[in-house]
Structure 1
């Protein structure tokens, strides 16, 4: 939420930019693993190269039993039915100016209620280009957004072809006293990444939550489901509820840090605080990307990539642990989203009540080169590369300055 992301000052590079000095002239080649220290944090924590062993992920406990039981109780649906069925909300216009979306961006606006609500805040974004090599999901080309409130998370499936969207509640399944039910998931959901049938959701300190696009339940079509009683979730009196939503999507698994959770604040070492996520399909082996949001006076945030296997997703290796194949320190602080294509990176940075920035850099091993920076919308968040469109997508989270938008990006291509 915005109140947690207030900027605490400007870096010297930002001051130079305001004076008209290009960032590229200031930094021609920045080490990804060694960054200048700030007085408020130890130099050792900042400068130490990230250790891949700290980021190892192990599959969590099985949820097969409650998932099978839910499948016996509720009607199963899928993405196609969800984005094309009745009861959709309409995308609107007019939000780009208020959000200060950059020129040449393609913009989608939520309806009046979703644009203004302070109960729900949009955070993560992923597209069908992440999910599938050909950039299509059946006949659809959806964009997916995650939202959080104080105790629950939901997804929004946007159908650009019809200019419609629908919310889906994410839930945690469990067997209780011999009966299957589900509950809200209390996460920030700052990043999401769609790969094949898998949807990964950032679990800031623990690692990742995993969902399956083939396991979405339609309460409106289930004989014992209900879309009434917005205050209820799970099983009540033999019927299943989802805070009034028609669709609920249960967690199907998790990946948790093998050597302990991340700390409550950025420490520059140990497990990664997963603040944002994305997919890179331009490498020989597709990659899952995850990175940290760290404030200016905290140790510089880190980023890691894990190899993905088509049809499987994350794959455990030695010791049943999935280790990243690349780690580095980020080229900036307050990073809300990051994505890579063909070795080129885009990062969004927030600045409290001021407009955000987009930082771009080229990756050469463990060094950042050709850094550049531009002002973008208010409250920029997660990022996704939509290769068929040659655009990187993000969203502006602020109430009444809220927008889903994609900026032309030549390097975001097949």
Structure 2
């Protein structure tokens, strides 16, 4: 570790993140497994990444692409009055976000200790305190386009899932997934509107809810890719949505789909229908076996790889102490496949690289290559299962791992509390994430008066500097 730290100091303290995210497998040595428990606590380092190279290991990440017929999508759009643009959703944003100075003490307590956030926002009061919906993922127009805007707007998308364990909610709402479309063009006045994720049915004559934990989400070009385990009755690993196909519901009701008099979307004005999916070729994913297809937990985009790539980490199999695999898929460069992963002639998608990480309890992952550096840094966010401690943001490569040290006793629990997925905004050099829980936990009971849900940004240069 001494050699690793010195190597980073020689590269310079003010660098941006380098990486080329990879994947991980739980096929670790017995010695590595013995230290995973202490690493989960954010104290001891998780050590270097372990490359996964065998055909059997890499084969577990393979996906098959299935796209919805264009006629089905057009039938649904025509029946609902035609597609509307993201700009309409933003212009109709009806919920304000609170700036950091207006966040409560409990919300501010969820922010990272080191490095500190330079921008932070809290949700509208109802969303900040509800136990029935949980914030899980974030992506931005910085992922989507080269200039970091969509139609001239700076946009943040935040994925939320309906908490099946929460008391008092309708059974039909269990597992629903929705996205907050946040107009971030004015950094002092963020506002958002909810859009429900759905899937076309009956040839486009109806739609059904997409049920997902929404743990990962990436906006690339005109597509939104969302983790969707057990979504809409399938074992799909990922769902694909087209941002040019947002549709407007015209009936305010609890149902989802076509109803008498029009279209209802569980009291949401807008829906985003799935246009395709990616399914593991090895069968349904499982978080309990390292020799099976992994269940997607979190996603991010790496614009520093060639071609650009989708980075993923898996859902842990056994609580807070379980290590994880991380891996990447290349995006297609074909002009007629914008925002889709690269496939072969049979519609198969293969991972380019994969790793095993002993950073247990991983909730977010980021890959970024800095400058002309040959080997990437990987950033994996660990979050504690306990309510009090902050999480840890580890920087790993094949040589070792680093994290900020924020207390005299050497603790590295410096990251946000219950922080989820990670997203890098190249035009501003910011790392974005969001925290999940209310103060009393993430399931069951009445709304909490002491929420800890925050959307925040930290400069990537500060992240690196904190690790020197």
**Would you say same fold, with TM above 0.5?**
yes
Structure 2 Cα separation of the partners of residues 412 and 128 of structure 1: 21
Is 1:157 aligned with 2:181?
yes
> Pick from 42, 48, 52: which aligns with 1:30?
48
| Aligned CA distance change for structure 1 residues 119 and 247 (closer, same or farther; 3 Å) | same
> Pick from 384, 400, 404: which aligns with 2:423?
384
> Pick from 55, 64, 76: which aligns with 1:58?
64
Contact conserved, 1:50 with 1:327, CA < 8 A, in 2?
no
**Which of 184-193 and 372-381 deviates more?**
372-381
Q: Deviations over 1:88-143 (max 9, x none)?
A: 21111333742320233311111111100111101011111111122111111111
> Pick from 78, 83, 86: which aligns with 2:85?
78
User: TM-score, normalised on structure 2?
Assistant: 0.73
Is 1:183 aligned with 2:208?
yes
Name the structure 1 match of 2:128. Answer: 115
User: Cα distance, 1:16 vs. partner?
Assistant: 8.9
User: Cα distance, 1:371 vs. partner?
Assistant: 2.3
Name the structure 2 match of 1:404. Answer: 455
The residue correspondences of 1:334-353 to structure 2 (distance < 5 A) are: 334-342=361-369, 343-352=376-385, 353=387
**Partner of 2:151: helix, strand, or coil?**
coil
User: Cα distance, 1:247 vs. partner?
Assistant: 0.7
**Partner of 2:135: helix, strand, or coil?**
strand
**Partner of 2:207: helix, strand, or coil?**
strand
Contact conserved, 2:177 with 2:210, CA < 8 A, in 1?
yes
Is 1:106 aligned with 2:119?
yes
**Partner of 1:129: helix, strand, or coil?**
helix
Q: Deviations over 1:176-222 (max 9, x none)?
A: 7xx71111111111110111011101123531110000000123xxx
Contact conserved, 2:383 with 2:392, CA < 8 A, in 1?
no
Structure 2 Cα separation of the partners of residues 297 and 234 of structure 1: 38
| Aligned CA distance change for structure 1 residues 269 and 10 (closer, same or farther; 3 Å) | closer
User: Cα distance, 1:368 vs. partner?
Assistant: 4.9
Is 1:213 aligned with 2:243?
yes
Long gaps (5+) in structure 2? 1-34, 163-173, 230-234, 370-375, 404-411, 439-450
Is 1:172 aligned with 2:196?
no
| Aligned CA distance change for structure 1 residues 111 and 262 (closer, same or farther; 3 Å) | same
User: Cα distance, 1:345 vs. partner?
Assistant: 2.2
| Aligned CA distance change for structure 1 residues 15 and 151 (closer, same or farther; 3 Å) | closer
**Partner of 2:73: helix, strand, or coil?**
helix
Larger relative strand fraction: 1
Contact conserved, 1:121 with 1:397, CA < 8 A, in 2?
yes
Contact conserved, 2:37 with 2:321, CA < 8 A, in 1?
no
* Equivalences, count: 371
User: Cα distance, 1:61 vs. partner?
Assistant: 5.5
**Which of 191-200 and 353-362 deviates more?**
353-362
Contact conserved, 1:170 with 1:251, CA < 8 A, in 2?
yes
Structure 2 Cα separation of the partners of residues 404 and 250 of structure 1: 26
User: Cα distance, 1:251 vs. partner?
Assistant: 0.8
Name the structure 2 match of 1:5. Answer: none
User: Cα distance, 1:299 vs. partner?
Assistant: 5.6
Name the structure 2 match of 1:222. Answer: none
Contact conserved, 1:212 with 1:252, CA < 8 A, in 2?
yes
User: Cα distance, 1:284 vs. partner?
Assistant: 2.3
Name the structure 2 match of 1:328. Answer: 355
User: Cα distance, 1:246 vs. partner?
Assistant: 1.1
**Partner of 2:180: helix, strand, or coil?**
strand
Contact conserved, 2:39 with 2:359, CA < 8 A, in 1?
no
Contact conserved, 1:33 with 1:50, CA < 8 A, in 2?
no
Contact conserved, 1:277 with 1:338, CA < 8 A, in 2?
yes
Name the structure 2 match of 1:278. Answer: 300
| Aligned CA distance change for structure 1 residues 266 and 91 (closer, same or farther; 3 Å) | same
Is 1:12 aligned with 2:38?
yes
| Aligned CA distance change for structure 1 residues 237 and 306 (closer, same or farther; 3 Å) | same
Contact conserved, 1:386 with 1:412, CA < 8 A, in 2?
no
Contact conserved, 1:395 with 1:405, CA < 8 A, in 2?
yes
Long gaps (5+) in structure 1? 1-8, 18-22, 35-46, 220-224
